[in-house]
Chain A
Amino acid sequence: MITFLGDIKPVLRLFLQTRRRELLLGATLSVATVTAGIALLGLSGWFITATALAGLSATTAATFDVFAPSASIRFLAILRTAARYGERLTTHNATLAVLAALRERLFRGWASAGAARALLNRPARLLFRLTADIDALDSLYLRVLVPAAVAVGTALVASVTLGLINPLSGLLFGFCLFLTGLGLPLAAGRLALKHARRRAYGIETIRSRTIDLVAGQTDLLMANRLAAQQQAIAAADTYTAKADDRLNRIETGVSIGFGLVSTALLVAALLTSATLMQTGTITAPVAALSVLVAFAATEPFAALRRGAMEFGRTILAAKRIAPRLSAAQADFTPKAPSRELAFALQNVTVSHHGAASPALREVALELRRGEHIAVVGSSGAGKSTLLSLLSGELPPSAGMAAALDATLLTQRTELFQDTLRGNLLLAAPDAGDDRLRDALAAAGLLADVDALPSGLDTPLGEGGMGLSGGQSRRLALARLFLRDTPLWLLDEPTEGLDGRTARDVLHRLALRAGGRALVIATHIRREAALADLIAVITDGRITEVSRRGEAAFEKALDRLRPD
């Protein structure tokens, strides 16, 4: 129970920070709805019994005040309706507000350097897990917290009502209600935790094996493993089904428990009322009232049942998400180099987490301001690692790294679901249309944009869908052009473009670079030809640095892929 709270605390804190008042109001209205229902039924029972007794003789029947009780009954009916409507609206509004806050916070959590790299390595799985976890947390308030609040509120109201009639029985009743209402779901949540986790893993496995089946179909088919892969998916389904079955058993146990407790409380109320009536402590209408209150007070159990099961999944989600909510922001930004340099690396070694050998070994390299350097080498030699180091995504594990403020043009064009303008404004939030158009013109995309019916306001799809490969790259280039940092890092800037487009893009890049320093990671000749220096990197080591005009420079160029 204590570890439960520990896991869920960061999430709860976030919830409360966002919409404390609304969250509480929603819970209160929920309690009010249920309480009005209890009062309605209790009062109705009292009224019927009282009228029956009064109706026995004509005189009492004539003097019986029917107005107050019947008006109260109607009032409670209206109150219940209004409270229900208000509750639904408030709780949903509060949930949506909390979701907004949760997503913002998670984004910030993932946007720290260390987390961002972890995400880069396993994007699909991590993003899927993240979505599933967020969805689980979405239901925390509506499905778990509100029903729990209602259970507590109802237990209080019912025990006070019954306590006014007879303190001891009220106390006992409230205690039972409280214990079952919170204890059973908590116990179930605890039991369910393990199976909820297994189920989540099972579904993830079904997912990843299905991806393997579809994306690796040719490889599997030719190795005669297609049938085995189908079996592997079926096995993951069996695994999930087992966990599912355990969860369902727990849920069934909870509902049996609730059912038995409801019946027991009802019988207890009947017998207590009979006892109290025998001793003359209460009258028949009050006895009817307490039986009906006991009956109605178990209503919140129904909502708790589903919440109890979601609780296990929610804890799992909270456990996984919490580190991102309170992550200390990792900052690997390199310090500034001395005056005339763009970057300086002294005996820098970089190791990726978990890798057997370092990605960069004792690299010593400098670049003066305004100079262009090409870093060449086969894929996997450490080019991208070098760029990550310079852009502050990775810390050196040994040695000293210093670099000017840099902007990275990633190898894969990364555009976003937004308008063209929105995509550009990321680089320069205050830029006016003139500056944007200027950058687009420099990237050779202005004519294309002007040809679009909505121009800069044209929306792009997920990941920038809607543009051709060349257009996407030019847009990324225009975005780079808007960044006035003294160092630009370009990771294979024209990979995947046809020769003509590529040469045009490179030409524009050279024009626009001005006095900036450039680092170009490449294995294509046309890209390296832009540079003043070529550094050859093999297995994480710089094996050769040559300057334009030297024989080694031309030789290094000749080894690269012609286009």
Chain B
Amino acid sequence: MVSAFFDAREQQQVEMPAVGVAARKPANTNRRLRSAAMLQALAAALWIPQAGILARSVGRLADGVGLGDMFWPAVFILLLGMVKSCLDAVGGRLAFRAARSELSEKRANAVRLLARLSPVDAGRPASGEAASVLGEQAELIVPYLSRFRPARMKASFVPLVILACIFPISWIAALVLLFAAPLIPIFMALIGWRAQAASQKQLIATSSLNAFLLDRLRGLATIRSLDAVDATALKLRSEAESLRTRTVAVLKIAFLSSAVLELFSALGVAMTAVYVGFSLLGEIRFGAWSGGLDLSQGLFVLLLAPAFFEPLRELSAVWHDRASGEAALKALDGIAAESMTLADRDKTGKLAVDAAFALRVENISFRYRPDQSPIFEGFDLDLAAGEHVALLGASGTGKSTLLSLIAGLAPCSEGRIIIGGASADRGHMAWIGQRPHIFAGTVAGNIALGRPGISKTEISKALDLAKLGGVAKAYGHSPLGEGGIGLSGGEALRLTIARAACDPDIRIILADEPTAHLDAETAAEITESLLALAEGRTLIVATHDPLLAARMHRTIRLDTEHLQEAAE
């Protein structure tokens, strides 16, 4: 089971280029969906000739013809049935493939937008939210596009054709059907919002039940400790029961719409049958164009009556796909709307190994949002290559922001960052954050992060430098817990130090409050590892920790004016 996961991951490198979905225009998807829907509508319409042959055959049987005369009609019905099934299948496949490739495209696009968002923007969607939009919610696009669209096409096309076929035979039968489905669009709208309301009510009910369950499961340790398992289970039950009562009360009304559809469709058939019967008996002498109906015509009308209502019923069955599909499309398109993006950093090409990695922050300005006051305005900073600097200052003075700007996690509104005379790129920088993300996978995998050209020796060197050998040994080849559960804060930090240590290109290390939230002993150890990593490299540390700051070459104090600089 688990291997299926990793299969996908292993294959990625090989398969990717092929996937790079040639950017198709949405119009293309729409066209494909339309032709698929046409095929399916055509398939549904094929019932008309089938019904015609069938009605005529039964009519002739009543006239007393024998089995031999049934041969060709049977063959035709069979052939038409095959063609019908095939057309329907081809249409269904076409619609599915168009819908599925639309999903892939939308997903890839959303991922691209997400990846461009600045991690320092507070308005960025949370990882859980993004995951549920891109994961299960996005999947709802497929049934919407591949089922609802064709069903809508069928519902607006097939009944009209059937009506057009019945009208020349008996205008009154056509009228009966037309009345049974009073003004189709209005009727559909009625079913539409009724069914939608009903399904939404039920959806809300179930999802709030799920939310209750998940909420309690998340705090299970507490519930168990309080001996409240039984009480919580009973509460869950009673909550569910009361939801049921309330939902059913709403459904009682909402289901009336489907009952109405059913009533009309059943009455349509019944009235057609009774009318045809009475007119065949000769008791009704109106409604047909000339001389009354004969048996074949009557049966034909009767066979078409249920087919007249079928597309409508089908449409109401897939109606709830529409709401969820449209919501999913909206969520995918809007996931990265109007947020701050990463700074554009074109690769400037590799700097020569011996190039001076002096860092210059030149006249930068930055604010998080246009309506907020600026964090930096015309700020300058010069760092020599290999210098170790501590950024000090109260919270909110912009220590972390400055690091982010240097790393290009957010764009400066003015000014620029220069390394060794060229504009900065991230290739020579490492980031040691406060709460590094731990990826699903082994310790070694978390250090290499799939970067090409990182050998086992480099990883084991990095493990030594970060003093992470013990953890790597304890876990061996088994994956770390989700989000680093089981790793302590110190160990997670060591992991990022090791990540930086195995990249020989790193020249500048940016560390954001590395020793915050650690006990004294661990903080001291982390400081040593960090200094070992920073040997011969530039190090900038944003910190509150006086012990760490004392180990730097110089400290820079940021205050609200940002310009006080104290050399030590």
- Indicate whether A175 reaches chain B with its CB closer than 8 angstroms: no
Known: A77-B266, A121-B486, A138-B206. A225 touches B215 (CB 8 A): no
Chain B window 348-371, contacts with chain A (Cβ cutoff 8 Å), 1 for yes, 0 for no: 000000000000000000000000
| Binary per-residue interface labels of chain B (77-99) against chain A in the complex, 1 for a CB within 8 Å, 0 otherwise | 11011101110110011001100
Q: Are B451 and A407 in contact, with the CB atoms below 8 A? A: no
- Given the interface contacts A96-B244, A216-B437, does A288 sit within 8 Å of B449 by beta carbon? no
Residues B244 and A93 in contact, CB atoms below 8 Å apart: yes
Residues of B within 8 A of A239 (CB): 7-8, 11
The proximity string for A residues 56-84 relative to B, scoring 1 for CB distances below 8 Å and 0 otherwise, is 00100100101001100110111011101
Are A54 and B431 in contact, with the CB atoms below 8 A?
no
Give chain A nearest CB distance to B108 CB in angstroms: 6
Q: Of B85, B233, B274, which is within 8 A of A260 by CB?
A: B85
Say yes or no: A212-B439 contact (C-beta < 8 A), given A80-B266, A222-B426: yes
* Chain A residues within 8 Å of B522, by CB: 378-379
Answer yes or no: A346 CB below 8 A from chain B CBs: no
Given contacts A108-B233, A127-B217, A51 and B277 within 8 Å (CB-CB): yes
- The chain B residue sitting closest to A476, CB to CB, is B222
| Selected A-B contacts with CB under 8 Å, 14 pairs | A70-B274, A81-B259, A88-B259, A103-B240, A108-B229, A110-B217, A120-B221, A124-B482, A212-B440, A222-B426, A239-B7, A266-B81, A270-B70, A357-B474
A230 to B111, CA, bound (A): 6
Give chain A nearest CB distance to B221 CB in angstroms. Answer: 5
Is B240 within 8 A of A104, CB to CB? yes
- B553 / chain A contacts, CB cutoff of 8 Å: none
**Contact indicator B298/A52 (Cβ below 8 Å):** yes
CB distance B217 to A410 under 8 Å? Answer: no
Not counting A213-B115, A230-B115, a sample of 10 additional A-B residue pairs whose C-beta atoms are within 8 angstroms of each other reads A48-B280, A66-B277, A77-B266, A97-B241, A122-B482, A213-B111, A223-B503, A271-B70, A393-B224, A426-B232
Report, as a range, how many residues of chain A touch the other chain.
35 or more
- Does B430 interact with chain A (Cβ within 8 Å)? yes
Cβ contact within 8 Å between A99 and B130 = no
Query: Could you mark each residue 221-261 of chain A with 1 if its beta carbon is under 8 Å from any beta carbon of chain B, else 0?
Result: 11111111111111111110100110011011001100110
Q: Mark A168-211, 1 if CB is under 8 A from B, else 0.
A: 00000000000000000000000000000110011111111011
What separation, in Å, do the CA atoms of A84 and B263 have in the docked complex? 9
Question: Does B37 sit at the interface, judged by CB under 8 A?
Answer: no
> Chain B residues with Cβ under 8 A from A202's Cβ?
8
Cβ distance A405 to chain B, nearest Cβ, rounded Å: 9
A268 closest partner in B (C-beta)? B74
- In Å, the complex CA distance between A231 and B5 comes to 15
Let me know if A560 is at the binding interface, CB within 8 A: yes
Contact with A along B321-355 (1 / 0, CB 8 A): 00000000000000000000010000000000000
What residues on A are CB-neighbors of B482 within 8 Å? 121-125
Chain B positions 404 through 448: 1 when the CB is less than 8 Å from some CB of chain A, otherwise 0: 000101000000000000000011011101001101100000000
Partner of B407, one of A37, A222, A236, A292: A222
Q: Is B267 an interface residue (CB 8 A)?
A: yes
- What is the bound-complex CA distance between A244 and B295, given in angstroms? 48
Q: Mark A260-301, 1 if CB is under 8 A from B, else 0.
A: 101110110011011101100000100110011001100000
Q: Does A215 contact B (CB under 8 A)?
A: yes
In angstroms, Cα B221 to Cα A440, docked, is 22
Given contacts A88-B258, A214-B125, contact A123 B218 (CB under 8 A): yes
A436-479 Cβ-contact flags toward B at 8 Å (1 or 0): 00000000000000000000000000110000000000001001
Is the C-beta of B26 less than 8 angstroms from some C-beta in chain A? Answer: no
A500 at the interface (CB under 8 A from B): no
In whole angstroms, what is the CA distance A84 to B112 when docked?
A: 48
Residues on A with beta carbons closer than 8 Å to the beta carbon of B209: 99-100, 103
Known A49-B58, A49-B62, A138-B206; contact A198-B4, beta-carbon cutoff 8 A: yes
The reply to whether A207 and B134 contact each other, CB–CB distance below 8 Å, is: yes
**Residue from the list B240, B440, B496, B503 in contact with A208, Cβ < 8 A:** B440
Residues of chain B with a CB closer than 8 A to A24's CB: none
Residue B547 CB within 8 A of the other chain: no
Cα(A73)–Cα(B274), bound, Å: 8
Partner of A49, one of B11, B19, B104, B299: B299
Contact, CB under 8 Å: B67 / A274 = yes
Binds B, one of A7-15, A39-47, A151-159, A511-519: A39-47
Bound form: Cα–Cα A355–B485 in Å: 13
Q: Which residues of A contact B174 (CB under 8 A)?
A: none
Residue B457 at the chain A interface, CB threshold 8 Å: no
Contact of A124 among B108, B128, B139 (CB under 8 A): B128
Known: A80-B262, A274-B70. A263 touches B81 (CB 8 A): yes
Q: Is the CB of B282 within 8 A of A55?
A: yes
Select which of A103, A204, A275 is within 8 A of B213 by beta carbon.
Answer: A103
Per-residue contact bits, chain B 101-128, to A (CB 8 Å; 1 contact, 0 not): 1011001100110110101000011111
A348 CA / B418 CA spacing, docked (Å) = 59
Cα distance, A88 to B281, chains bound together (Å): 39
Question: In the complex, what's the smallest C-beta–C-beta distance from A113 to chain B, in angstroms?
Answer: 7
A224 adjacent to B451 (CB under 8 Å):
yes
Given the complex, which residues of B lie within 8 Å of A393, measured CB to CB? 221, 224
